[in-house]
Amino acid sequence: MFVRKAAMSALFIIGFAPLAQADESLLNRYCLGCHMPSEQGLSRISEQRKTPESWEMTISRMQLMHGLVITDEDGRTAAEIKSALVKHLADTQGLAPSESLPARYLPERLPAVQEAGMYAAHIQETCGRCHSSARHVLQRRSEAEWQKTIDFHLGQYPSIEYSLYGRDREWLNLARELIMPEIAEEFPLQTAAWDSWQSTEKQSLSGSWQLAGEMPGKGRFVGTMAVTQDGEDRYFANFSGQFDNGETFNSRGESVVYTGYEWRGSFNIDGVEYLQVLAADESFNSMNGRLFQTEHNELGLSLRAQRDTGQPLLSAVWPEQIKAGSTATLTLHGANMGGNVVLPKGIEVLAVERSGPSEWRAQVAAGADAPSGRFAVKHGGATLNEGLAIYRNLDAVAVLPDYSVSRVGGNGGARQKMYGAFTAYGSDFGPDRTAGTADDITLGAMPASWHVEPWDETARHDNDVKFAGDMDPKTGIFTPAAAGPNPERKQSTNNVGNLKVVGTVTDGEQEMQGSAHMIVTVQRWNNPPLR
């Protein structure tokens, strides 16, 4: 496994080391002292199914709080043995792809996700005030084990009844009598999805993969990943590609696959450590997820990986929008491409600049009467549905994430800064010129210039724009200020702030702005793999 850092008053570190043999004997050796044997396996342990990160957190908690000692033995390091335990538990008591799908944002460390409205309000108020609601969505337990979870919370965190939403209700009775029965019914230990996945023949993920994605501050990305297998579930990967600004991205890394589809990789790119969290679908021909910096999870690249099977494959179209009555350089990326290029009606090819199996580039013109909408693009036998948008008006710009948190850090402290990363997305409201109707056209990411403003009058009075940090006007990356008291601020307070992030898109002679809300706050001290 790759190096990861988490905290529960300490650092947990698991090295990306060769996996030790993982079997029941290893589990019995380290867990049998506290967990009693049963018909199902070991008490408590056999009544749970979780993601690799969750199993890692469980073992780390056993080490920190319950005296579990894992030592070097038989030529294996403690880190290797711990890795093997995580691997065994994730493989035998993990989640099926369909079970983890609704909450992939958590292991992928996707920043600024707002769970409001995603889950039942009373469950979010009971569970989601201390950690994300996705924490329980990514687990399956027996009903008895779910009930024990309540007792664990109260024993481990006695103040839980009195914090935040707990003060106006009988938290313990509510959790026991209402919340846990609902969760136990929705997320049971035994499911048809898990039974089906266990019986599914797992396929190797070796081979060539076409990559496409997007990274705030850098734009769209295309590339390849050549994967070779080394052992049952261990892989080496050569990762390469480029952004639409010409910047390249190249590295060789290692990965481990858990539960047959949970890809976890580690790469060093230009001296920066990256983690790669992907999930293969049940066909084993597609993977989706993120590549993100180890120290700055918020700086990452969304990725869609498609296996190169030798058949024509179209992975990306740059740009993904063109205005009626304008010209543009259009680039198609993929593999094994050939034959005729079929563009949406109203798009004329003026001159082909490049034509090959992995890239086709041409100067194109969109007629003034070209139909508006999102349309498929074809190259030979490959099709990218809704690959290109034709629009007439830039009616709105949305800055995403629309609400985010960045954090001060550094300045000699133990926690690094947490950046803000923003992207501008355009929309055409369609012929009816009304937002939110069926003829709206999503235009995708668009180049923008950036600045920040005070969010409210208090922020203006406190001069938050000056003290909270700096926005890169070209990339949309916000760098928060240093941690610690600032003698230049009133009462020497720290460099927190309440800011409006403004992205300005230029479309011909028109400028259109969108905005988002960003809180600049203090460091996060507890930073586990699953928050």
Per-residue pLDDT tens over the stretch 208-219: 999 999 999 899
CATH number for the domain harbouring residue 344: 2.60.40.10
Residue 164 pLDDT > 70 = no
Given this model, what pLDDT does residue 6 score? 33
Distance of alpha carbon 240 from alpha carbon 393, whole angstroms = 36
- What phi and psi values does residue 365 have, to the nearest 5 degrees? -130, 135
The dihedrals phi and psi of 269, each to the nearest 5 degrees, come to: -120, 110
pLDDT value for 4: 32
Do 185 and 223 lie in one domain? The reply is no
* Same domain assignment for residues 320 and 375: yes
Residues 403, 497 share a domain: yes
The pLDDT value given to residue 7: 32
Co-location of 215 and 271 in the same domain: yes
pLDDT tens sequence across 253-283? 999 999 999 999 999 998 999 999 999 999 9
103 lies in a domain?
Answer: no
Q: Does 264 fall in a domain?
A: yes
CA distances from 416 to 10, 64, 162 (A): 16, 24, 31
For the chain, the average pLDDT equals 90
Residues 444 and 367 in one domain: no
pLDDT attached to residue 12: 33
Range of the domain at 339: 313-391
Residues 516 and 404 in one domain: yes
Q: Residue 97: its pLDDT value, please?
A: 97
* pLDDT score, position 331: 96
Residue 531 has pLDDT above 60, yes or no: yes
Task: Tell me what pLDDT residue 166 has.
Answer: 64
pLDDT at res. 22: 58
Tokens of 473: 């006007």
Domain boundary among 373, 391, 409: 391
**408 and 505 together in one domain:** yes
Among 237, 272, 307, the domain boundary falls at 307
Final residue of a structural domain among 342, 364, 391: 391
Q: What is the pLDDT of residue 75?
A: 84
Residue 47 lies in a domain: yes
Closest CA to 235 of 265, 190, 258: 265
Give the number of other CB atoms < 10 A from CB of residue 77.
16
Can you tell me the distance from the alpha carbon of 420 to that of 200, in angstroms, rounded to the nearest whole number? 41
406 shares its domain with 505? yes
Count the neighbouring beta carbons within 10 Å of the beta carbon of residue 451.
15
Residue 297 phi/psi, 5-degree rounding, is -60, -25
Kindly indicate the confidence band of residue 357, based on its pLDDT and cuts at 50, 70 and 90: very high
| Domain assignment present for 105 | no
Using the predicted structure, report yes or no on whether residue 18 has a pLDDT greater than 60: no
What is this structure's pTM?
0.91
Q: Are residues 404 and 484 in the same domain?
A: yes
Distance CA 49, CA 52 (A): 10
Please tell me the least confidently modeled range out of 19-28, 121-130, 287-296, 488-497. 19-28
Mean pLDDT is lowest, of 5-9, 208-212, 323-327, for 5-9
Residues 277 and 385 in one domain: no
Q: Is the pLDDT of residue 14 over 50?
A: no
Q: What is the pLDDT of residues 472-503, one digit of tens each?
A: 999 999 999 999 999 999 999 999 999 999 99
More confident residue, 3 or 401: 401
Three-state secondary-structure class, residue 318? strand
Per-residue HEC secondary structure of 31-80 comes to HCCCCCECCCCECCHHHEEECHHHHHHHHHHHHHHCCCCCCCECCECHHH
Tell me how many domains the chain contains. 5
CA–CA distance, 120 with 509 (Å, rounded to integer): 46
Has residue 17 got a pLDDT over 50?
Answer: no
For the cut 60, the answer to whether the pLDDT of residue 11 exceeds it is no
- 461 with 387, same domain: the answer is no
Higher pLDDT, 97 or 19: 97
- Give residue-wise pLDDT tens across range 60-103: 999 998 899 998 988 889 998 999 999 999 999 999 999 999 99
- Both 387 and 400 in one domain: the answer is no
Kindly tell me if the per-residue pLDDT of 165 is higher than 70: no
| CATH code at position 286 | 2.40.128.120
465 touches 497 (CB < 8 A): yes
In a domain, 529, yes or no: no
Domain annotation covers residue 113: no
Residue 404 Cα distances to 129, 247, 408, 468, angstroms: 17, 27, 14, 14
527 lies in some domain: no
The verdict on residue 300 lying in a domain is yes
Helix and strand numbers (H, E) in the chain are 12, 30
Q: Look at residue 19 and tell me whether its pLDDT is greater than 50.
A: no
In angstroms, the Cα distances linking 16 to 27, 81, 82, 257 are: 20, 12, 11, 12
Q: Is the pLDDT of residue 428 over 80?
A: yes
